[in-house]
Structure 1
Amino acid sequence: MPAAHALAAEHLTLGYGDRVVVSALDLTVPPGEITAIVGANACGKSTLLRSMSRLLTPRAGRVVLDGKAVHRLPAKELARTLGLLPQSPVAPEGITVLDLVGRGRHPHQGVFSRWNERDDAAVAAALEATGTADLADRAVDELSGGQRQRVWIAMALAQQTDLLLLDEPTTFLDVSHQVEVLDLLTDLNRTRGTTIVMVLHDLNLAARYAHHLVALAAGRLHAAGAPAEVLTEETVRVVFGLESRVIEDPVSGSPLMLPIGRHHAEHHGATLQ
């Protein structure tokens, strides 16, 4: 089973150029659980994930992994512990699915170690788990958006890290494949104990699949905790500017957000803020 790594943001401030995107944020990722980061567009979700994987250097504060600042860890050492699937990854032109997924094994290759049976098994398992084994010999740039997304997820799985960060892993996927991917990540968490942090747009999927929700509003932490504590009508109003009703999901028992459109709110006499 993976080690229970401690990942946290300490008074983190992030930005691009003159623009501050995340301000003075403190966040602890529960080890061995699935955390979903939610919030409106441009609230800092992807920026936070980029910093947690050390792709973005903080303006202030730090991201800490097991007591050490991630920006000071050797790249390969970090890559053996923490994997990232960014929002819009770009594959080298002409690369095949098998070769791309195989790149997930690079952090495990040392000066004296070469590709071995364990690497073959990791790649095969990742292809099988994502339903992309039959695409192994295809060029990545020939695939549909949904197929490419599943291949990128396979590469992240092949890395076999104890911590996995995914920025909108259900992008380009239809509803069926969205559920398949989230079920896959749930199985990974249950069977291997992998700590997963993912940015999701769909509030209800986040509440159903995550143990821990983090809601950002304008670059600040609005709420963090169990889905039943975080996904409330007040949170939806503040974070998304949307009136809603939150009920219990009859299938999962998790909170289920029902948006109230302006027409329905006016029809029923509700007041929109």
Structure 2
Amino acid sequence: MTTSHSLAAEGVTLGYGDRVVVESLDLAVPPGQITVIVGANACGKSTLLRSLSRLLSPRAGRVVLDGKEVHRMPAKKLARTLGLLPQSPLAPEGITVLDLVGRGRHPHQRILSRWDDQDDAAVAAALEATRTTDLADRPVDELSGGQRQRVWIAMALAQQTDLLLLDEPTTFLDASHQIEVLDLLTDLNRDRGTTIVMVLHDLNLAARYADHLIALADGRLHGAGAPSEVLTEERVRAVFGLDSRIIDDPISGRPLILPIGRHHVRPQPVRELEGDRG
């Protein structure tokens, strides 16, 4: 694995039909780091990720990988460098876990080449890392939502790309499995130098696991940098419409966002007025 690949959006405008979702966006993904994209619903997070992976062509601007436009690269060549776990992927009916995870090896298969020990090892490692080895022979459509999500992550890991894009990888997972998956991705980044870009809804998980944070609102960039730089009370209010207090997380030392609900504001004591005394 290498940390030298560069991925960037240059003046990108994205949309569907007559609707523009992302407009004139410039951003660079730091190589070898974990980048997390945050923002309110429908702000363009998933749309941006689809464009970075070339699933969606820009209306203007371009997405470049190592200086080359991704939409002009051969699909299989791109898939050997960049992997994507989309939101709510669909598995072929009746496919087993082992077969689905094995499809992550497709970009590495060449004409007339055979499945080899390296492919077996990659699939076994992906199953073990996601704790899905015991599910290998089961049909994917019989699994729970959480189990299915871990299997999809295993398929992405089996692809063994230098860059990995994940759209809400903690969907359907309970709290313990969310941490387990994010720790797994952190290990992948630290041990192999894999550049990771993911969309997360939970701001505090984003702050804890991101090296680089991207905040979107209404299809525009509202901040990019270290979590401590991006997550200010003013920006959380502007991006999410949420009043909050931000303190240092006692475990990670990263920003910890404490939402302020109007029913949870401690009432201030009423002071007596001079004219009301005795």
Distance across 1 between alignment mates of 2:79 and 2:56: 15
Distance across 1 between alignment mates of 2:4 and 2:208: 23
Q: Secondary structure at the match of 2:264?
A: helix
Q: Which residue of 2 aligns with 1:187?
A: 187
Q: Which amino acid aligns with 2:145?
A: G
TM-score with structure 2 length normalisation?
Answer: 0.95
Q: Is the 8 A contact 2:208 2:255 kept in 1?
A: yes
Q: Compute the displacement of 1:267 (Å).
A: 3.2
Q: Which amino acid aligns with 1:171?
A: T
Q: Which residue of 1 aligns with 2:144?
A: 144
Q: Compute the displacement of 1:173 (Å).
A: 0.1
Q: Which residue of 1 aligns with 2:261?
A: 261
Q: Is the 8 A contact 2:37 2:214 kept in 1?
A: yes
Q: Which residue of 2 aligns with 1:162?
A: 162
Q: Secondary structure at the match of 1:4?
A: coil
Q: Which residue of 2 aligns with 1:249?
A: 249
Distance across 2 between alignment mates of 1:268 and 1:216: 35
Distance across 1 between alignment mates of 2:17 and 2:124: 42
Q: Secondary structure at the match of 2:42?
A: coil
Q: Secondary structure at the match of 2:252?
A: coil
Q: Which amino acid aligns with 1:138?
A: R
Q: Is the 8 A contact 2:12 2:23 kept in 1?
A: yes
Distance across 2 between alignment mates of 1:257 and 1:150: 27
Stretches of structure 1 lacking an aligned partner (at least 5 in a row) = none
Matched ranges for 1:163-242 at <5 A: 163-242=163-242
Distance across 1 between alignment mates of 2:198 and 2:70: 18
Q: Is the 8 A contact 2:3 2:195 kept in 1?
A: no
Q: CA RMSD in A?
A: 1.0
> Structure 1 residues 4, 262: CA separation in 2 closer, same or farther (over 3 Å shift)?
same
Alignment coverage as a number of residue pairs:
269
Q: Is the 8 A contact 2:95 2:139 kept in 1?
A: yes
Q: Secondary structure at the match of 2:245?
A: strand
> Structure 1 residues 13, 268: CA separation in 2 closer, same or farther (over 3 Å shift)?
farther
Distance across 1 between alignment mates of 2:221 and 2:51: 15
Q: Is the 8 A contact 2:5 2:66 kept in 1?
A: yes
Stretches of structure 2 lacking an aligned partner (at least 5 in a row) = 270-278
Deviations 1:93-138 (A, max 9, x none): 0000000000000000011321100000000000000000000000
Distance across 2 between alignment mates of 1:256 and 1:118: 42
> Structure 1 residues 158, 268: CA separation in 2 closer, same or farther (over 3 Å shift)?
farther
Distance across 1 between alignment mates of 2:249 and 2:124: 36
Q: Compute the displacement of 1:149 (Å).
A: 0.1
Q: Secondary structure at the match of 2:263?
A: helix
Larger radius of gyration: 2
Distance across 2 between alignment mates of 1:210 and 1:138: 34
Distance across 2 between alignment mates of 1:141 and 1:232: 42
Matched ranges for 1:37-76 at <5 A: 37-76=37-76
Q: Which residue of 2 aligns with 1:89?
A: 89
Deviations 1:179-204 (A, max 9, x none): 00000000000100000000000000
Q: Secondary structure at the match of 1:267?
A: coil
Distance across 1 between alignment mates of 2:102 and 2:69: 28
Distance across 1 between alignment mates of 2:70 and 2:268: 51
4+ residue segments displaced more than 4 Å: none
Percent identity, please: 83
Q: Secondary structure at the match of 1:111?
A: coil
Distance across 2 between alignment mates of 1:211 and 1:250: 18
TM-score with structure 1 length normalisation?
Answer: 0.97
